[in-house]
Homo-oligomer: A and B are copies of this chain.
């Protein structure tokens, strides 16, 4: 498996496009790349890194000879085709929520739980975007000081809902000056009955609601975090909010450590050496992470570190990352890179 035959399912989407770009940019050892999408997109030409690719229709036979298949075309497509790909010998790296909470399927952020990869049986799940950046940033803190509890509020960009959501924000923004004829047809949830403008607004709903009153996005953060950390007893509760930001998710994360007596400087110390993390936390210089400046970057930016004056183990962090890159495409490609390292080591 020195040179890999790769397939990307959902190659025309916001994340699929970035997976192709990252594979080429990071010089992944590719033998061939097959771009798969719906029948409607079949025949479409995609150019990346000066190479031309023709999109093919996703069908079971398309996975013949494929070594690694990236899936990012919605949960139902993964449910339809992932097993077909595995049956034909491919390892599937799935970027949808279809298999994330299946116990036997590893849910992997390489900086956090690379070991889980070794147990895969053909399918590896890539966590939700808002989960990835949080657990990767918290991992060095958890390793050194222990994590007891998380209270999270997110500030999420529209690109997390796909290219059409970006178009919706842009169209609404243009019409906003006159406030006339603003159409909301997609957000907060394409499947929902009601749609609300996102331009100059905050929508406290991402994905559909569960009977508990939590949204699926909130439950993903809560459940996936416990699974990735292997900490079923971790207390975690989240509020997820969509905002008029194109790309870059931000998170206001409140943590309680297992240990007392930890200082902000102790947290800075472990974060400053952590893989994939950029500590951007110099408040005197007004230096802190912001989504506008995280766009297009591979790293996770962490700042606004503060001790809760009223709680002995409580701290705040502000965590920002490009939701299409580390939140999705980059993490998937890093999983693939780790697979190769494991096999060849």
Known A151-B254, A283-B209, A286-B194: A201·B239 in contact at CB below 8 Å:
no
Contact B310–A236 (Cβ < 8 Å): yes
Question: Does A289 reach chain B (CB closer than 8 Å)?
Answer: yes
Question: Does A237 reach chain B (CB closer than 8 Å)?
Answer: yes
Contacts of A236 in B (CB 8 A): 310
Contact B243–A197 (Cβ < 8 Å): no
Question: Does A260 reach chain B (CB closer than 8 Å)?
Answer: no
Contact A290–B243 (Cβ < 8 Å): no
CB distance from A51 to the nearest CB of B (A): 27
Contact B283–A213 (Cβ < 8 Å): yes
Question: Does A230 reach chain B (CB closer than 8 Å)?
Answer: no
Contact B250–A204 (Cβ < 8 Å): yes
A 295-308 to B, binary, CB cutoff 8 A, 1 in contact else 0: 00000000111111
Contacts of A214 in B (CB 8 A): 306
Closest residue of B by beta carbon distance from A250: B202
Chain A residues 236 to 256 lying within 8 A of chain B, measured CB to CB, are 236-237, 239, 241, 243-246, 248, 250, 252, 254
Whole-angstrom CA separation of A176 from B289 in the bound complex: 20
Question: Does A291 reach chain B (CB closer than 8 Å)?
Answer: yes
Contact A237–B316 (Cβ < 8 Å): yes
Known A155-B155, A252-B153, A264-B213: A290·B203 in contact at CB below 8 Å:
yes
Contact B213–A305 (Cβ < 8 Å): yes
Question: Does A292 reach chain B (CB closer than 8 Å)?
Answer: yes
Contacts of A345 in B (CB 8 A): none
Contact A304–B204 (Cβ < 8 Å): yes
Question: Does A27 reach chain B (CB closer than 8 Å)?
Answer: no
Copies of this subunit: 2
Contacts of A304 in B (CB 8 A): 204, 213, 239
Contacts of A243 in B (CB 8 A): 155, 202, 243-244
Question: Does A53 reach chain B (CB closer than 8 Å)?
Answer: no
Chain A residues 177 to 220 lying within 8 A of chain B, measured CB to CB, are 177, 188, 192-194, 196-197, 200-205, 209, 212-214
Question: Does A314 reach chain B (CB closer than 8 Å)?
Answer: yes
Contact B252–A239 (Cβ < 8 Å): yes
A 275-289 to B, binary, CB cutoff 8 A, 1 in contact else 0: 000000001111011
Whole-angstrom CA separation of A303 from B205 in the bound complex: 11
Whole-angstrom CA separation of A234 from B316 in the bound complex: 18
CB distance from A43 to the nearest CB of B (A): 31
Whole-angstrom CA separation of A244 from B318 in the bound complex: 18
Question: Does A311 reach chain B (CB closer than 8 Å)?
Answer: yes
Question: Among A170, A193, A196, A304, which residue has the most Cβ atoms of chain B within 10 A?
Answer: A304
Contact A318–B151 (Cβ < 8 Å): no
Question: Does A261 reach chain B (CB closer than 8 Å)?
Answer: no
Question: Does A173 reach chain B (CB closer than 8 Å)?
Answer: yes
Contact A237–B204 (Cβ < 8 Å): no
Known A153-B153, A244-B245, A306-B214: A290·B239 in contact at CB below 8 Å:
no
Q: Of B194, B209, B212, B303, which is within 8 A of A204 by CB?
A: B303
12 contacts between A and B (CB under 8 A): A153-B153, A155-B241, A173-B173, A196-B292, A200-B246, A202-B291, A204-B318, A213-B304, A213-B305, A222-B309, A239-B252, A243-B243
Which 3 interchain pairs have the tightest Cβ spacing? A153-B153, A235-B310, A153-B252
